[in-house]
């Protein structure tokens, strides 16, 4: 053992010496070999051989002194590391010599990896990652529909019936997000988001609490329902994560609640409600008894073995049975939607498209890098051949190229990783507000690894091509003067293929981006029906506990609106329960106009319902076309219901030629809410112009009721949550502090939620569009940039290769113009094919693109053609410099160069 140690020690000493005294060691070796050669020559000379001959023989025996020395060196301790260091140094010098090339390769890698990873991570967090519930595939979001097919939640009596009669679910639960609620406890006061649920709510998700328990059976009944389950983040943030929180008493809404449990980390339902707490249902009498009051969302867990289709069929029979006794239920349908799909919602299409865009960019990037490296590799083929001829082993050459490639790859990849993290921080900021799982977006490591793997793999492969090819040809061929390295047919086609691919993909991306931009512009400048400038909005939620049974109009809203109107800088103030552009879907069905022909299909399209104050029209500057607006003096809770309708309503429901004012509507849905009317017929008293409820769709028919007509008993129900809208003569934001003070004066316990200007509201609605657009724009820009760089590099390379041919042509009398023409023709051809291919790709992908933005040849044809021409122009420009250089070649120089 000790002897082994001795050997190791000796080797270590040699390692040290070889490394740090390299010069001396080499010199020593030189001297030794020299001495050997001379002694050998002397011996021969002594035997009678001539001195020259002797020396020659000696050298021959040595086999070339250099080679011998190299062999010794290679056998040395530390030789391995030394040669790697050598390779690195060489590689580094190469990069420094042509910084443009090096930087281009590294930048291309960084961009491709960084952007790909960032966007993939977003997609993963939002779409692919499983939801934090047990066995998610068994959970179905019940997308219940009305008879006419529009989305319609359940009413409580309906839900009770369904639950009793269903056979396909282990649990059918109802829930309703209640928005912000103030909670006071020993730990302080805090505003949280409340979600109400039926007693079996948690059974659907089968997620165990980390502390305490969840709802017990029957705990959603009055008297037992003042319990609350905290979400994990609320427990950590607002209760200090202390285990004694179970059993604590808290105050919410003026009532006392007991904390009974804490949910596991990561659990949230609905998934976009942050800082949530869960309480059992607290029903108002109207909610409990009114079958036509649709407010309860439903979600269910399928029984084992049950499919969603079977569950839907089961529900259909239930609906049919109920429909016999109650006309409202007749014709109802339900889609049992896989919860994961439901969460992603409409964004699925756009996200998928983004996925393809990302892939396209990655492909372009890789193709670019490969092209650049291959081009350079071709140039160096002669260098490789030379090395091989003087004795470098193929393995060594390959290793040196590999080291160089890895140098590029590592630097580029490193930059790419940094870029990915940076981009994600940026995206997270943008997404948090608008998308349900935005906050959970993080760098996805598997994706990062994959992107790195692919890019690095491509880089290494492309860089090593010259060495691999070398083994196919004999060195002499490559070394031959005038060797036509790199002009084989195969390489030509490969290069052309690269250019064409890049151009095609770049065009496809450009088209999508252009279309999105176009659509965004259209949306932004859509005729909304009102001017969103100089408008302030805020949300008011009246706490249930405080206002139950009170006349909210007299006690709160009227004084509030009066005070707001008295504020300096305010031109008009009003209320509406649902803000235009921001929301829609609060509607009535079964609209019937008395005195007109009964509609063939009694299930008509719904009409939007709004509860407003007359001030609302002033704020939105909505002109009265006919008749009058609601008036608190005339329209009382005791008088018949009066409605102001919009022009879309008239167009849809009123036969041509009839005067809408004075006609009567049968609106059964609202009758149930405003049930104290003697006369169930609603009188149309006025017509106003259209205001868009949804920015993406043309205006819906709308009926506006004056809130003064809502009976006090049900007022909290109908208008407990309203939007205050204000038209200002000064900058809207500047009025927020004053507004808060005014609200405080009326009722200090009601917070002013989400004060925003109307412009912000519109922008928020478009956020996802904007983000999408921004992303696509970035991709398109990047793709074009990469394509241009690739084009420039490849064309330069081609031109360089044909320098000798050009020289010959010039020498034979061709004009420079002809040369230029030839080059441009070739480039133009490549670009043309690329563009055509790109258009084909766009057409083929129309299905995917169409999920995001409609592609119509008629309306968008011009834009697409313009983009194609633009791309070709850019490509020709990229070719301009190398082309000029080529045609400026001096024939003699060109011929001599080889």
Contacting residues toward other proteins, per CB under 8 A:
3, 6-7, 9-11, 14, 28-29, 31-33, 35-36, 38-40, 42-43, 61-63, 67-68, 71-72, 74-77
In angstroms, give the least distance from the CB of 31 to other proteins.
7
Nearer residue to other proteins within complex by CB, 11 or 847: 11
Burial 429-464 (b: 16+ CB within 10 A, else e): ebbeebbbbbebbebbeebbebbbebbbebbbebbb
CA distance 529 to 535: 14
Nearer residue to other proteins within complex by CB, 28 or 898: 28
In angstroms, give the least distance from the CB of 74 to other proteins.
8
In angstroms, give the least distance from the CB of 390 to other proteins.
16
Residue matched to tokens 């009382």: 636
Nearer residue to other proteins within complex by CB, 70 or 740: 70
Classify residue 715 by burial, with Cβ atoms within 10 Å: 0-12, 13-18, 19+. Answer: buried
Contact of 466 with 380, CB cutoff 8 Å: yes
Nearer residue to other proteins within complex by CB, 49 or 402: 49
CA distance 89 to 108: 23
Length of the chain: 898
What is the token pair recorded at 599?
A: 């509609």
40-43-47 Cα angle (round to 5): 140
Nearer residue to other proteins within complex by CB, 31 or 433: 31
In angstroms, give the least distance from the CB of 69 to other proteins.
8
In angstroms, give the least distance from the CB of 5 to other proteins.
10
In angstroms, give the least distance from the CB of 71 to other proteins.
5
In angstroms, give the least distance from the CB of 33 to other proteins.
7
In angstroms, give the least distance from the CB of 400 to other proteins.
22
In angstroms, give the least distance from the CB of 53 to other proteins.
18
Tell me 500's DSSP state. H
In angstroms, give the least distance from the CB of 389 to other proteins.
19
Nearer residue to other proteins within complex by CB, 23 or 598: 23
Q: Is the peptide bond before 612 cis (omega within 30 degrees of 0)?
A: no
Nearer residue to other proteins within complex by CB, 58 or 183: 58
Residue matched to tokens 């960032």: 118
- SS3 assignment, position 730: coil
In angstroms, give the least distance from the CB of 825 to other proteins.
57
What does each C-alpha distance from 619 to 4, 535, 576, 764 come to in angstroms?
94, 8, 11, 20
In angstroms, give the least distance from the CB of 87 to other proteins.
22
What does each C-alpha distance from 470 to 58, 84, 315, 383 come to in angstroms?
33, 21, 71, 11
Nearer residue to other proteins within complex by CB, 43 or 897: 43
Nearer residue to other proteins within complex by CB, 38 or 53: 38
Nearer residue to other proteins within complex by CB, 68 or 355: 68
Catalogue the long-range contacts made by 341-344 (C-beta closer than 8 Å, 24 or more residues apart): 342/141, 342/143, 343/131, 343/271, 343/436, 343/437, 344/126, 344/127
For strands 753-757 and 535-541, give the pairing: antiparallel
CA atoms within 13 A on the CB side of 127: 17
In angstroms, give the least distance from the CB of 45 to other proteins.
11
What distance lies between CA 189 and its chain's CA centroid? 35
Nearer residue to other proteins within complex by CB, 27 or 445: 27
Nearer residue to other proteins within complex by CB, 28 or 326: 28
**Closest-CA residue to 391 (of 707, 134, 63, 645):** 63
Nearer residue to other proteins within complex by CB, 43 or 316: 43
In angstroms, give the least distance from the CB of 72 to other proteins.
5
CA atoms within 13 A on the CB side of 539: 14
In angstroms, give the least distance from the CB of 886 to other proteins.
49
Instruction: Work out the widest C-alpha separation in the chain, in whole angstroms.
Output: 141
Residue matched to tokens 């001379």: 38
In angstroms, give the least distance from the CB of 10 to other proteins.
3
CA distance 225 to 246: 16
Nearer residue to other proteins within complex by CB, 5 or 217: 5
In angstroms, give the least distance from the CB of 40 to other proteins.
6
Nearer residue to other proteins within complex by CB, 39 or 320: 39
What distance lies between CA 773 and its chain's CA centroid? 10
Residue matched to tokens 């105050």: 251
CA atoms within 13 A on the CB side of 252: 26
Contact of 881 with 792, CB cutoff 8 Å: yes
What distance lies between CA 633 and its chain's CA centroid? 52
CA distance 262 to 476: 78
Tell me 553's DSSP state. I
SS3 sequence, 310-362?
HHHHHHHHHHHHHHHHCCCCCCCEEEEEEHHHHHHCCHHHHHHHHHHHHHHHH
């Amino acid at each position: 053992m000790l002897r082994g140690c001795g050997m190791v020690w000796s080797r270590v000493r040699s390692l040290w010496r070889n490394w740090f005294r390299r010069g001396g060691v080499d010199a020593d070796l030189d001297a030794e070999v020299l001495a050997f050669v001379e002694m050998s020559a002397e011996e021969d000379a002594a035997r009678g051989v001539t001195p020259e001959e002797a020396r020659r023989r000696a050298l021959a025996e040595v086999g070339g002194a250099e080679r011998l020395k190299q062999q010794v060196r290679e056998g040395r301790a530390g030789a391995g590391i030394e040669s790697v260091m050598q390779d690195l140094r060489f590689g580094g010098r190469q990069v420094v010599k042509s910084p443009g090339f090096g930087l281009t390769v590294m930048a291309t890698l960084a961009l491709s990896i960084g952007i790909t990873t960032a966007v993939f991570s977003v997609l993963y967090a939002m779409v692919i990652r499983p939801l934090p519930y047990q066995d998610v595939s068994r959970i179905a979001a019940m997308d219940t529909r009305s008879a006419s097919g529009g989305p319609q939640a359940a009413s409580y009596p309906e839900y009770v019936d369904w639950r009793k009669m269903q056979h396909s679910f282990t649990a059918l639960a109802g829930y309703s997000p209640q928005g912000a609620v103030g909670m006071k406890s020993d730990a302080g006061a805090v505003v949280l988001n409340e979600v109400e649920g039926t007693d079996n709510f948690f059974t659907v998700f089968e997620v165990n609490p980390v502390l305490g328990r969840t709802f017990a059976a029957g705990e959603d009944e009055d008297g037992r329902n003042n319990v609350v389950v905290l979400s994990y983040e609320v427990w950590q943030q607002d209760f200090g994560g202390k285990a004694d929180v179970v059993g604590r008493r808290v105050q919410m809404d003026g009532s006392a609640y007991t904390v009974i449990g804490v949910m596991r980390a990561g659990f949230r339902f609905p998934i976009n409600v942050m800082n949530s707490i869960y309480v059992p249902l607290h029903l108002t009498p109207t909610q409990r008894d009114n079958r036509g009051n649709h407010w309860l969302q439903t979600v269910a867990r399928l029984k084992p073995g049950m499919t969603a289709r079977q569950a839907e069929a089961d529900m259909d029979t239930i609906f049919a049975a109920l429909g016999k006794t109650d006309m409202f239920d007749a014709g109802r349908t339900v889609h049992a939607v896989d919860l994961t799909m439901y969460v992603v919602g409409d964004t699925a299409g756009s996200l998928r498209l983004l996925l393809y865009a990302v892939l396209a960019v990655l492909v372009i990037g890789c193709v670019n890098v490969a092209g650049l490296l291959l081009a350079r590799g071709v140039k160096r083929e002669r260098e490789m051949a030379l090395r091989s001829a003087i004795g470098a082993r193929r393995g060594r050459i390959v290793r040196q190229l590999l080291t160089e490639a890895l140098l590029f790859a590592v630097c580029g990849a490193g930059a790419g990783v940094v870029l990915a993290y940076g981009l994600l921080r940026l995206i997270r900021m943008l997404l948090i507000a608008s998308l349900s799982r935005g906050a959970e977006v993080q760098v996805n490591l598997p994706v990062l690894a994959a992107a790195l793997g692919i890019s690095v793999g491509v880089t290494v492969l492309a860089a090593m091509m010259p060495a691999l090819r070398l083994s196919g040809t004999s060195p002499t061929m490559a070394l031959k003067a005038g060797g036509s390295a790199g002009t084989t047919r195969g390489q030509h086609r490969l290069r052309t293929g690269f250019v064409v691919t890049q151009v095609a993909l770049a065009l496809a991306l450009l088209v999508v981006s252009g279309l999105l931009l176009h659509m965004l512009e259209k949306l932004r400048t859509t005729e909304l029906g009102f001017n969103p400038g100089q408008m302030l909005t805020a949300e008011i939620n009246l706490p249930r506990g405080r206002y139950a049974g009170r006349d909210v109009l007299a006690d709160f809203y009227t004084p509030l609106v009066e005070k707001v109107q008295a504020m300096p800088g305010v031109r008009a103030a009003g209320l509406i329960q649902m803000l235009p552009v921001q929301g829609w879907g609060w509607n009535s069905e079964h609209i019937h106009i008395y005195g007109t022909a009964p509609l063939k299909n009694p299930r008509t399209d719904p009409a939007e319902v709004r509860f407003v104050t007359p001030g609302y029209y002033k704020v939105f500057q909505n002109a009265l076309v006919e008749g009058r607006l609601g008036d608190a003096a005339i329209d009382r809770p005791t008088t018949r219901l009066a409605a102001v309708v919009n022009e879309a309503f008239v167009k849809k429901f009123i036969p041509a030629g009839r005067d809408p004012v004075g006609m009567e509507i049968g609106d059964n849905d609202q009758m149930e809410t405003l049930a104290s009317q003697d006369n169930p017929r609603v009188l149309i008293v006025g017509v106003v112009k259209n205001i868009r409820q949804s920015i993406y769709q043309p205006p819906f028919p709308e009926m506006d009721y004056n809130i003064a007509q809502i009976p006090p008993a049900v007022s909290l129900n109908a208008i407990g949550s309203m939007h205050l809208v204000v038209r200002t003569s000064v900058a809207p934001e500047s009025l927020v502090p004053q507004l808060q003070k005014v609200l405080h004066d009326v009722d200090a316990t009601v917070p002013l939620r989400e004060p925003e200007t109307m412009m912000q509201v519109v922008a928020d609605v478009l956020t996802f569009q904007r983000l999408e657009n921004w992303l696509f724009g970035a991709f398109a820009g990047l793709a074009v940039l990469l394509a241009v760089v690739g084009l420039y590099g490849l064309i330069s390379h081609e031109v360089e290769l044909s320098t000798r041919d050009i020289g010959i042509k010039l020498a034979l009398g061709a004009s420079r113009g002809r040369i230029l023409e030839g080059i441009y023709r070739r480039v133009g051809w490549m670009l043309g094919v690329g563009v055509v291919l790109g258009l084909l790709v766009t057409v083929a992908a129309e299905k995917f693109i169409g999920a995001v933005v409609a592609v119509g040849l008629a309306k968008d044809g011009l834009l697409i053609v313009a983009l194609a021409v633009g791309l070709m122009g850019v490509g020709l420009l990229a070719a301009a410099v190398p082309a000029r250089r080529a045609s400026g070649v001096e024939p003699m120089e060109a011929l001599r160069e080889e």
